[in-house]
Amino acid sequence: MPIAPTVPPLNEKPLPSEKTAHRRARDSNGVEALIREMMKKHRTPLMILRKSQLIKQYRRFRRSLPQVMPFYAIKANPHPKVIKTFIQQKTGFDVASAEEMRLVLSLGAKPDKIIFANTIKSAEDIIAARKCGVRMMTCDNESELYKISEHYPGAHVLLRIKVENHLSVVNLSLKFGMDSDMALPMIRKAKALKLHPVGISFHVGSQSKNVENYLQALEITSQIFIEAQAAGIPLSIVDIGGGFPIQHFDSEIGINFERMAVQIQKQIKLLFDKKVKFIAEPGRFFVGPAGILVTQIVGRTFRNNKNYYYLNDGVYQDFSGMIFDHCKYEFKTLRRGQKFSSALAGPTCDSFDTLSLDAEIPELYVNDVVYVKNIGAYSSASAVSNFNGFHPAKIIFTA
Ligand SMILES: *Cc1c(COP(=O)(O)O)cnc(C)c1O
């Protein structure tokens, strides 16, 4: 396979969407005012999901990649109001199971705006997809093609290829995707089994900070399109997956969706015919910035030469992303003052339930607030409902 063309140098001039330090400070005040207001009515732990941020992210995506139709990957946050918001915005949905499929359908999503994007599906789930009229699905192996053709003749399949996940926080090519040189034989096989091989999908890994992964995956995909065309089985859809990164820390640099999008857009124009349709499966990018987690300190102690603060939410609950999503968060406080390196831990009786050993925070007292922004994705979604008698945060969906 040819390698991706070299990337033109980045335009270092800040784009209008990049926040200045000034705007960031104002934003932080807005968030703190919201937290104070919410705490008058609700107890912590509290997960505030802001609809305005969901819509803002959706619009950023559409503005930067106008020809790529997003299918929101609901595993990032399946809250019904999140799903409803995206239905109102007319996005599609990426589901991984019959249960997720039924959820989005029950909320009003149209079957033709759903992709069943789990490459491994049970026979029951394929049958459910057929009954619901969800005919677009991904696949990366021959056994699955046989299974789909048996239970859903005529289904539309996108063949998922393995691509580079270099510099992505979560590698998704370890478990999914076939080698790209298998694509053509699989397309032929799908056709022979009377399925409709409609396109190629890939996923560059979650929180992908490296646009090269997308550019290279598009290059490989375009070669497969050429081969398939020559073989008389033209393809029409490219699914560029998810992975679009968000900023978790205020001071984090090197994450700029708009800049990545410019290059993705260029690569699409360069390599594909205008008639080819593009879809994507953003999860984190759509919902991460909408979430603010508000916790309070239940107890404190001094050990190992530092202050230890115990919060009412931990890794078994809304900080589950620290484990499953390999995510790090910026811990903030409403209290101001000189900062010290301190430890933060969750409420359960497990040493593993430690959130940070070096959070830079002021001295805090019982009932003080510790909050985290940009925690709407892979947080409440993977929280355990009741471990040790502790529950995930109450979710408040707000404007
Ligand atoms: C998890 C997942 C997504 C969403 O990934 P993000 O990195 O959150 O954008 C999209 N597609 C598939 C197949 C996934 O498994």
- Domain of 390, CATH number, reads 2.40.37.10
Q: Residue 353 domain-assigned? A: yes
Full DSSP string of 196-222: EEEEEE----EEE--HHHHHHHHHHHH
- What's the pLDDT band for 165 if we cut at 50, 70, 90? confident
Its domain, for residue 42, covers: 31-48+290-398
Neighbours of 34 (CB within 10 A): 17
Q: Cα(18)–Cα(253) distance, rounded to whole angstroms?
A: 11
Question: What 8-state DSSP symbol labels residue 387?
Answer: B
The Cα–Cα gap between 146 and 148 comes to: 5
Domain co-membership, 63 together with 208: yes
Q: 7 pLDDT band (50/70/90 cuts)?
A: very low
Distance 258 CA to ligand 1 centre (A): 19
How far away, in angstroms, is 222 Cα from ligand 1 center? Answer: 22
Does residue 189 register a pLDDT over 70?
yes
- pLDDT computed for residue 24 by the predictor: 56
pLDDT value for 126: 98
Counts of helices then strands in the chain (DSSP H, E): 11, 18
In a domain, 24, yes or no: no
Phi and psi for 332 in degrees, rounded to 5? -125, 160
* pTM for this predicted structure: 0.92
If asked whether residues 329 and 241 sit together in one domain, one would say: no
The predicted model gives 374-398 an average pLDDT of: 97
* One domain, residues 137 and 212: yes
* Domain shared by 299 and 267, yes or no: no
Atom of ligand 1 nearest to the CA of 282: 9
Model pLDDT, residue 64: 98
Of 113, 87, 84, 116, nearest in space to 100 by CA: 116
Nearest Cα to Cα of residue 239 among 291, 197, 203, 194? 203
Residue 189: name the closest of 135, 150, 132, 141 by CA: 141
Distance 40 CA to ligand 1 centre (A): 36
Q: What ligand 1 atom has the least distance to the C-alpha of 138? A: 13
pLDDT digits (tens, 9 = 90+) for 214-231: 999 999 999 999 999 999
Q: Which of 97, 167, 172, 255 to mutate to test the pocket of ligand 1 (most atoms within 8 A of CB)?
A: 172
Question: Token pair 């946050």 is at which residue?
Answer: 77
Helix (H, G, I), strand (E, B) or coil at 293: strand
> Do 246 and 350 reside in the same domain of the chain?
no
Q: Closest ligand 1 atom to the C-alpha of 378?
A: 8
Report CA(26)–ligand 1 centroid distance (Å). Answer: 32
pLDDT tens, residue by residue, 318-338: 999 999 999 999 999 999 999
Predicted local confidence at residue 10, as pLDDT: 41
Q: Is the same domain home to 345 and 376?
A: yes
Q: Which of 306, 221, 215, 325 is nearest to 266 (CA)?
A: 215
Residues 180 and 307 in one domain: no
Looking at the domain assignment, is residue 97 inside a domain? yes
Q: Is the pLDDT of residue 8 over 80?
A: no
104-158 pLDDT, tens digit per residue, is 999 999 999 999 999 999 999 999 999 999 999 999 999 999 999 999 999 999 9
The answer on 390 and 353 residing in a single domain is: yes
Domain endpoint, select from 287, 304, 322:
287
The answer to whether residues 154 and 186 belong to one domain is yes
Catalytic residues: 349
Torsion sign across C-alpha atoms 266, 270, 273, 274:
positive
- When mean pLDDT is compared across 1-5, 313-317, 395-399, the lowest value belongs to 1-5
Strands 291-303 and 369-372: antiparallel
Residues 132 and 217 in one domain: yes
* Residue 75 alpha carbon, nearest atom of ligand 1: 1
Which residues, at least 6 apart from 314, have a Cβ–Cβ distance to it below 8 Å?
345, 346, 347, 348, 353, 355, 390
Nearest CA to ligand 1 atom 5: 242
Q: If you measure from the C-alpha of residue 242 to the centroid of ligand 1, how many angstroms do you get, rounded to a whole number?
A: 5
Q: Of the residues 287, 322, 338, which one is the last residue of a structural domain? A: 287
For ligand 1, residues with CB inside 6 Å are 73, 75-76, 94, 117, 203, 206, 241-244, 281-285, 377
Is 15 a domain residue? no
Ligand 1 pocket mutation pick from 86, 139, 203 by most atoms within 8 angstroms of CB: 203
Angstrom distance (rounded) from CA 270 to CA 115: 26
Atom of ligand 1 nearest to the CA of 288: 8
Tokens coding 178: 């076939």
Q: Which of 200, 281, 325 most suits a substitution to test ligand 1, by most atoms within 8 Å of the C-beta?
A: 281
Beta-bridge partner residues of 303: 306
Closest CA to 73 of 203, 161, 160: 203
Q: Which residue type occupies 346?
A: G
3-class SS letters over 70-121? EEEEHHHCCCHHHHHHHHHCCCEEEECCHHHHHHHHHCCCCHHHEEECCCCC
176 in the same domain as 198: yes
Atom of ligand 1 at shortest range from CA of 285? 9
Instruction: Residue 178: give its domain's CATH number.
Output: 3.20.20.10
What pLDDT sits at residue 191? 98
* Predicted local confidence at residue 6, as pLDDT: 39
CB 332 within 8 A of CB 372: yes
CB 132 within 8 A of CB 138: no
The total domain count for the chain is 2
Q: Note whether residue 20 is domain-resident.
A: no
Nearest to 242 by CA among 57, 7, 52, 51: 57
The structure tokens listed for 289 are 């910035």
Q: How far is the CA of 78 from the centre of ligand 1 (A)?
A: 13
With respect to residue 215, please indicate whether it lies within any of the assigned structural domains.
yes
Residue 371 β-bridge partners: 294, 332
Biggest CA–CA distance in the chain, Å, is 71
Q: Are residues 109 and 210 both part of a single domain?
A: yes
Asked, for residue 174, whether it belongs to a domain, the answer is yes
Distance in angstroms (rounded) separating the CA atoms of residues 269 and 153 = 34
**Is 23 part of any domain?**
no
Residue whose CA lies nearest to ligand 1 atom number 13: 117
Measured in angstroms, how far is the CA atom of residue 398 from the centroid of ligand 1?
A: 25
End residue of a domain, out of 271, 287, 303: 287
Q: pLDDT tens across 245-295, in order?
A: 999 999 888 899 999 999 999 999 999 999 999 999 999 999 999 999 999
